[in-house]
A and B are shown apart, each in its own frame.
Chain A
């Protein structure tokens, strides 16, 4: 059996092969990301049954951990890499037609590098390696936000870059402090020794790590860049940023809090922060007229909900959080992809200019509607079981604070419903009557949307399809001793 290293090596190698292909075979370059991601998706799915029994640990350089850089392909890592490959593949198919102008080959290189970085973050078992892959992800997303080179894109990219770079520096200081204390960079080794350190000397690195990673994960006071960046990037990139980049940031936060520090005392603070993130995001989304900004703020709200579920830190809670993460990734990617062509046809991002799209682009509007309903949490879409699981997990803890907070989260959901239904109403029930000409999105754009709709509906009806995987992923997060034992052997 081949090793999980290929999940990183193949897309990385192909990304840097793209400039070579531009020399002699230009027509093929836009297919390269899709090819790399097909490989990643198939390979992740093949590995999945094996890692559910036993995590695959890869040593690089022939040394055993903690002396080498290692990859940990556990249920969490492979689950995330499968999600990244799936959504990345669908978006790269969409981009075949959507990305026509500008430096196309640079778009594809950066796109593939972004996904390589994301895959690396979720698979690595070494905290400095995590930082490096995180930077690969961040730098390519700064550049992709500015891809259109218009006013808004450049401005948002500059803001995103400054905040992201400060965040990365804080992360690196945190890593340096941890290395100074433990003399190791291996996350499992660190987790094994962390109990011997005093609380106060752990507090500073933990705060630095959470703050540094929180910038990319868009946790509340650190998310000023997100609405600008997500709304001014090309829609295919918005889908990836909303659907993958911030989720990977959340994964890193969860890995640091659960696995490295095993910190239960900070969880209450995180859940307060999460609900604050949720309410701020949903309320800002409610007051937007620009559809992409609305979707971006709604991502902030969803991130709050996922973080809240993870911070419950029971088996149900973490499973619910990962389920919500999956449902947000699918639904938000679908929403951005559908919105991309509606904006393209309407020539404007204002919701009022999208009126009557339900007649002009029926399939795209239907896809948007399904994504919106799923995000709000209506059955039979995937958003319903995931939100249900979170509510159940919060109630099952029987802690007053968490029950109050989940009540606030449900208020957020009501706001969410209000602004999404407003858009759906504009699509179908407003605008001039009569028989407008149909002008549907091209078939290569409809295909990924159709697959996303299919997944949203199928998993919404049979949540059992994914709950086993999510359960073992949650177990990996919660049982850190087993993680340590698996890696160090």
Chain B
């Protein structure tokens, strides 16, 4: 069980990343693909957080006497994740607004049917 204890976050994160990639590659519906992008983003964010996580660690603030820096989680990945979340929101919002436009033009969200541009 100690293996699971120390790696469970990574397993979860890469599980989410793979699920997200699977949805993006396999699904035909644009909304589902966008959901896949969201899942992928979440997986990446979870991964970044777990990179900086210290087991039973606390926030890196000297709030109580007796807390040493060895019991604190790394703050840098959290700052990265905040930024990454904001970027992810922007991408998802843009994707959804494009989906509305796509539906207005083609009357469908099925990406297999939206094929005017070819090589």
| A residues adjacent to B (C-beta < 8 A) | 128, 132, 135, 139, 142-143, 146, 149-152, 154-159, 161-162, 165-166, 168-169, 172-173, 175-176, 179-180, 183, 185, 224, 227-228, 231-232, 284
Contacts and interface: CB of A to CB of B under 8 A. Distances in A.
Residue of A142, A151, A227 with most chain B CB atoms under a 10 A cut-off: A151
Contact of B98 (A135, A157, A169, A231): A157
Interface in B70-117: 74, 76-77, 80, 83-84, 87, 90-91, 94-95, 98-99, 101-102, 105-106, 111, 114, 116-117
B95 A152 contact: no
A404 B81 CA distance: 46
A44 B56 CA distance: 49
Interface in B55-71: none
User: In terms of DSSP, what is the predominant structure of the interface of chain B?
Assistant: helix
B51 A180 contact: yes
A198 B21 CA distance: 28
Across chains A and B, which 5 residue pairs bring their CB atoms closest together, nearest first?
A228-B117, A180-B51, A154-B101, A176-B48, A151-B105
A166 B94 contact: no
Contacts of A158: 30, 95, 98-99, 102, 111, 114
A169 B44 contact: yes
Nearest to A143: B94
Nearest to A288: B119
A328 B47 CA distance: 39
Nearest to A142: B94
A312 to B, nearest CB: 29
Given A172-B84, A228-B117, A232-B117, 20 more contacts: A139-B90, A146-B101, A151-B106, A152-B116, A154-B101, A154-B102, A154-B105, A155-B116, A155-B117, A156-B117, A158-B30, A158-B99, A161-B94, A161-B98, A162-B37, A162-B95, A165-B40, A176-B47, A176-B51, A227-B117
Contacts of B51: 176, 179-180
A165 B77 CA distance: 20
Residue of B30, B84, B111, B114 with most chain A CB atoms under a 10 A cut-off: B84
A155 B113 CA distance: 11
Given A165-B95, A185-B76, A152 B44 contact: no
Nearest to A179: B51
Given A158-B30, A169-B41, A227 B102 contact: no
B53 to A, nearest CB: 11
24 contacts: A132-B87, A139-B87, A139-B91, A139-B94, A143-B94, A154-B105, A155-B106, A155-B114, A158-B99, A161-B94, A161-B98, A165-B91, A168-B87, A169-B20, A169-B44, A172-B84, A173-B44, A176-B47, A176-B51, A176-B80, A179-B51, A183-B74, A224-B119, A284-B119
A185 B48 CA distance: 13
A176 B77 contact: yes
Nearest to B92: A165
B24 A162 contact: yes
Given A166-B21, A172-B44, A161 B95 contact: yes
Nearest to A162: B33
A143 B95 CA distance: 9
A166 B24 contact: yes
A146 B98 CA distance: 8
Nearest to B30: A158
Given A143-B94, A146-B98, A227-B119, A135 B87 contact: yes
Contacts of B99: 158
Contact of B44 (A176, A224, A227): A176
B82 to A, nearest CB: 11
Nearest to B103: A154
Contact of A152 (B74, B94, B98, B117): B117
A179 B80 CA distance: 11
Residue of A168, A172, A228, A284 with most chain B CB atoms under a 10 A cut-off: A172
